[in-house]
Structures are given as C-alpha cells and as structure tokens.
Amino acid sequence: MPQYRYQMRNSEGQVQAGTLAAENALSAAQLLRSRGFQIINLTPVHQKSGSLADTLKALNYTSGPTQKDVLAFTSQLAVMIRAGISLRAAVEGIAEQQQNVKFRNILMGVKDDLESGRSFSEALSKHPKLFGPLYINMVRASEVSGSFSRMLDRIAAYLSQWLETRAMVIGAMIYPGVIMGLAIGVTIFLLTFVLPRFAGVFDGKEAAMPWPTMFLMGLSAFMVEWWWAVLGGLVAAVAAFMIAIRTEPGGWWFDGVKLKFPVFKRMFRALYIGRGLQTMGELVNAGVPMLDTLQITGDITGNRHYRRLWRRVYASVKEGKKIAAPLTRSTLFPRSVTQMVGAGEESGKLGEVLDEVSTFYARQLKETIKTVTSMIEPIMIVLMGSVVGFIAMAIILPIFKLSTLVQ
C-alpha cells in the first residue's frame, strides 16, 4: 500500500508530521480529517527499488512525456485537489512519483512557478507543446470561475477520449498497411525465389510461352540482378513521400486526399468534425472567449482544410456575424450540423448542442472504423489472391502448353 508523508495542524494549533499508509491520496486525506486535523501538506513517499526490472523501466522513461502522462497527471491532480490538498503540494507530490525524468523536471518547474506567485495557467503556458492551448485556456477559465477540480475532470475526460480516438484511427490505418506489406512480401518471395527455379525449364522455349510468363520471367530476372536498386528506389520513394507531405503544398494535397479517398474519407471527415466540435464545446462550456475558442479549434483540428474553415469562422465572428454562416457555405460540414449549430447559437445553448453533436460523431467514428476495417480485409484478400493467382497462372500455362506440344 502506498505511503504518504503529511504535515497537519491539530486542534491546539500545533504542527505535526509523519507518514501513513492509504490506498490513494483521497483516502489519506479523509483519514487525517476524520481525526480532526487540518492538512497542511500531503505528498506520496517515492519508494525506490534496486531491482534490474525497475532499473530497465527507469531507463525506458528517459524519453519525453506523452499525452498519456499528461492524462495521468490531470486525473491525479483532480483527485488531490478535491481532497483539500493545496495545488503546490499536489503538483510536487505527483512530480515526486513520476518515473519519466523529463516530465518530473517539468512538474517541478511548475511547482517552482506556483511558489513564486504565478498562476497555474501561467506555469503551464511555459510548456505549450506538452499541455496545448486547449488545456491552458480551460485551466485559465477555471481559475476565474473557481471550478478548478471540475474543470480538471473535463480536461481528463477530453484527453482520454482523444487518446482513444487516435488509437482507433491509427489501428485502422495500420491494419491495411500490414496486409499490404504481407502481399508485397509474398510477391517478392515468389518473384525472387520461386520463379527463378523455373527459368531453366523454360530456356529455349520462349516462343511457346504466353505473355504473362514472359513478363514475369523478365521481371524476376530484373529483381534478382538489380534487387539493390529496387530496394533503394522503394526506400527513396517512401522517404520522398514522407518529406513531401511535411511541406506546406504537400500537406495541403495529402489532407485533401484523406477527405476524398473512397474507403477512408468518411472516417476522416467524422474524425475532423467530431474533434473540432468537441474542442469548441469544451471551451465554450469552460467560459473561454469565443474568438480564442475558434482560434484554438482551428489549430487543433488536424487538417489544413478544416483549419482554414475555422479561420473563416473566426474572421466572420470577429466582424460581428454568426458562427453558422461560414459553415453553411462550406462542403466540409453537413447541412444538418450547421443547422444545429445555428439553432444552438440562437437559443444560447451552443455548448450543449456542440456536446451532443460531438458525442454523435464520436459514435459514428467508431462505427465507421469498424466498417472500414471490415471492408479492407476482403479487398486486400482479393488483391493478394489475384496477384498470387496471376503468378501461378503464368507458371502453369506454359507447362500445359509444352505438354500439349509433346503429345
């Protein structure tokens, strides 16, 4: 059971310190309060272990922190704040038990900023790549409204859903890649190891061979002799593609392809619409100013075409116009969504409408991913079977033709 170091003040005003065992920080705080103590500080005791497994685990945590680390930090912080622990003490306690050294140093820096009198949002804003504009602005809004622990719960829920959605999308993209890799691997094996075994059988009989056999035998001979050039060309093509899509023109092109590719376009549209509306809904409900909300929504959407659309909405609202007007003129949003956004804007319940629409698109995204993966499997099997069947046909046809000539 975890150990917690505490400082508390008893009914006579005397400060006492010690350690106690509890399941979590909330249980430890409740136990001290039940004894009539006022908690000054409560931090977990970091227990070190010299085992080889712990050493290897510590080495694995020398990389930079991820959004999973941020999610765990946010969830723990919300619990400790509800337990009555001061923000500085809570951040310090969470930092002490961090195994990721870089994240621990970041949190200790946040703790130092809090001690120097800075607000929590100001301390977090020093690390914009890790916490992000949505996180920082929601924390800043909660500092004004006084709903800090509830806002941390909303942020944690948002991060959890975002990580889950990203994992689903990556899984849906990896699956066809693995199948395609297997198909290419089988094809290369047949061309470089199987077909050369038949080269001696067909020597001198080129006139009797059909064109599929001639084509594959020539391709097989080329790959056996120039395999290094083929491998280098594939690596160069992949590297050039990855570099190209990181450029601004290439990024615009690739983002457009994702919205038009037959199998994946529905999945990506649901992803970008749902992410944008959920982000906007969280910020609106948190009380973030509308212009800041629209700017953050555009930056976080993940697609250049949707980012440009949200910037148009930003410019429209800045001129005093409605949010729904630019969305209505765009083909990136369904008409039904723009109508609901307009209705929410008119009724003053925009945050509630955005929450409902984003929840609908989250469900639709999960269903679309299932549909995409179920469609990809038979398509890839048919393609793989066609390639293997073509190679088999190219080998068998000349054998039948030669046996007919012999008879």
So what's the pLDDT on residue 48? 47
**Phi, psi of 16, deg, nearest 5:** -125, 155
So what's the pLDDT on residue 188? 83
DSSP character at residue 289: -
What's the chain's Rg over C-alpha atoms?
30
Q: Would you identify the CATH topology of the domain 164-407? A: Receptor-associated Protein (1.20.81)
**Phi, psi of 263, deg, nearest 5:** -80, -35
Q: Enumerate the domain spans of the chain.
A: 48-118, 164-407
Both tokens assigned to 27? 């249980």
pTM: 0.72
So what's the pLDDT on residue 174? 81
Both tokens assigned to 235? 């690596």
> How far, in Å, CA of 336 to CA of 352, rounded?
16
Q: Residue 386: in which H helix or E strand, if any? A: helix 350-406
> How far, in Å, CA of 36 to CA of 30, rounded?
10
Say if residues 41 and 7 touch (Cβ distance below 8 Å).
yes
So what's the pLDDT on residue 52? 46
Say if residues 181 and 209 touch (Cβ distance below 8 Å).
no
So what's the pLDDT on residue 15? 66
So what's the pLDDT on residue 8? 72
So what's the pLDDT on residue 55? 47
- Identity of residue 76: Q
So what's the pLDDT on residue 207? 65
So what's the pLDDT on residue 61? 47
> How far, in Å, CA of 128 to CA of 136, rounded?
8
pLDDT tens, N- to C-terminus, the chain (407 residues): 677 777 777 666 666 777 777 776 667 777 777 776 667 667 666 554 444 444 445 444 456 788 889 998 998 888 888 888 888 888 888 888 888 888 888 999 998 888 888 889 899 988 888 888 888 888 888 887 767 888 888 888 888 888 888 888 888 778 777 877 887 888 888 788 877 777 666 666 666 677 777 888 888 888 888 888 888 988 999 899 999 999 999 999 999 999 998 878 888 998 899 888 988 888 888 888 888 889 888 888 889 999 999 999 999 999 888 888 888 888 888 888 888 988 888 888 888 898 888 888 888 888 888 888 788 778 878 887 888 788 778 777 777 766 665 55
So what's the pLDDT on residue 402? 63
The b-or-e profile of 316-352 (16+ CB within 10 A means b, else e) is: bbeeeeebbebbeeeebbeeebbebbbebbeeeebbe
Say if residues 135 and 73 touch (Cβ distance below 8 Å).
no
Both tokens assigned to 213? 């056999």
* DSSP secondary structure letters along 229-280: HHHHHHHHHHHHHHHHHHSHHHHHHHHHHHTT-TTTHHHHHHHHHHHHHHHH
Say if residues 351 and 284 touch (Cβ distance below 8 Å).
yes
Q: Which long-range contacts (CB under 8 A, 24 or more apart) does 126-131 make?
A: 130/65, 130/70, 130/106, 131/70
> How far, in Å, CA of 384 to CA of 102, rounded?
46
Number of residues that this document lists for the chain = 407
So what's the pLDDT on residue 60? 47
CA angle 389, 181, 375 (to 5 degrees): 75
How far apart, in Å, are the Cα atoms of 105 and each of 62, 76, 108, 122, 127? 11, 17, 5, 17, 12
* 15-21/3-9 β-pairing: antiparallel
So what's the pLDDT on residue 358? 87
**Phi, psi of 36, deg, nearest 5:** 85, 20
